[in-house]
A and B are shown apart, each in its own frame.
Chain A
């Protein structure tokens, strides 16, 4: 079974631009969560999608948004990029059916975003 895939793997943008990242979960998984990873803050939860609906949300500004498609693939969008948005963006998939955070999450390799 293929793992979680994320595209693109690397991205360079400039301040003020917007970016869209993509995540394809493991086949059969319906929950996709997004995280931002930086050296100083570690992993921080952005949001979780299940069955095309945002089920949980972290404490990030409205510039960060996401969506999920009927095939469970998910995208996240960051508008009006800031230098501090430079990070590794990870997505993780799980079955999602229990609705509990304890379900085992499988992480993708991440998209490394650099904002200049």
Chain B
């Protein structure tokens, strides 16, 4: 899950398995959330977003779940592939301001 510490949380999964990456957000007024993927040497890339009036949204092989009660966001990646190896982080938008998590490093084992 997300962490404000010095070490990036890591997750290792076997190719073909499902991955679940978690994020705890802090601002109960945040009404829009985004998951980003950042590969080594590249900038963050938009994956999927969700608004606070929804609790689930699906994309291609990805699903985002939002639990506003406990201020928790998760990203599920189905049938994880080697190309999914990257750092994933969430962003919450509230009051026209972005707040980013520090990220989780996902490693896919072939």
Contact = CB atoms under 8 A, between A and B. Distances in A.
A73 to B, nearest CB: 17
Given A90-B44, A102-B93, A107-B43, A39 B8 contact: yes
B46 A43 contact: no
Contacts of B46: 104-106
B96 A45 contact: no
B102 interface: yes
B6 interface: yes
Contacts of B7: 39
B44 A102 contact: no
A55 to B, nearest CB: 10
B45 A107 contact: yes
A22 to B, nearest CB: 15
Contact of A102 (B5, B8, B32, B42): B32
A42 B102 contact: yes
B96 A100 contact: yes
A49 to B, nearest CB: 15
Interface residues of A, number: 23
Contacts of A18: none
A43 B89 contact: yes
Interface residues of B, number: 22
A107 B89 CA distance: 14
A44 interface: yes
A45 B43 CA distance: 14
A45 B44 contact: no
Contacts of B96: 56, 99-101
Contacts of B41: 109
Contacts of B8: 39
Interface string A88-109: 0010100000011110111111
Interface of A: 4, 35, 39-45, 56, 90, 92, 99-102, 104-110
